Chain A
Amino acid sequence: MDLITGLLTTAFLAGGVLALAAIGEVLAERVGVVNLGVEGLMAMGAVTGIATVTATHSPSLGFLAALTIGAAFGAAFAFATVIVRANQVLCGLALTLMGTGLAQTIGRGYSGMPAVATFEPIVVPGLSEIPILGKALFSQNILLYLIYIILPVGLSYVMFYTRHGMNMRAVGENPAAADAAGISVRAIRFLYVTAGAALAGGAGGYLTLAFVPSWSDGVVAGRGWIAVALVIFAGYRPGMAALSGLLFGLITALGFVGQARGWPVAPAFLSMLPYLGTLAFIIVPVIAWKNMRRTMAAPAALGEPYYRNVR
Chain B
Amino acid sequence: MDRSSDQSNLATALAEARPTPREDFAEELDERVAAGFPRRPRASGTPLSGLADRLRGLSPQRLLFATGAGALAAIAVATVIVASQGPNSRPPTLNSHALQPDWRGVQFEPPAKDSSGGTAIHAPAGVAGAASGASESSGAQYGSALESAPTESPPAAAISGRAHRDIERSAEIGLLADPADVADDSAAVFNAVHDAHGIVLHSTTTSGKRAGADFDLLIPSARLGDALAAFSTIDEVGSRHEATEDITAPTVSVSEKLRDSRARIDGLLAQLSTAETETEMSAIEAELDRERHHASQLRSQLDKLEQRTEFSRVSVRIKTGTSSTDSGGSWGIDDAFGDAGHILGIAAGVTLIGLAVLGPLTLIALLAWLAQRTWVRAQRRRGLRDA
The yes or no verdict on A and B being binding partners is no
- State the B residues within 8 Å of A (CB): none
- State the A residues within 8 Å of B (CB): none
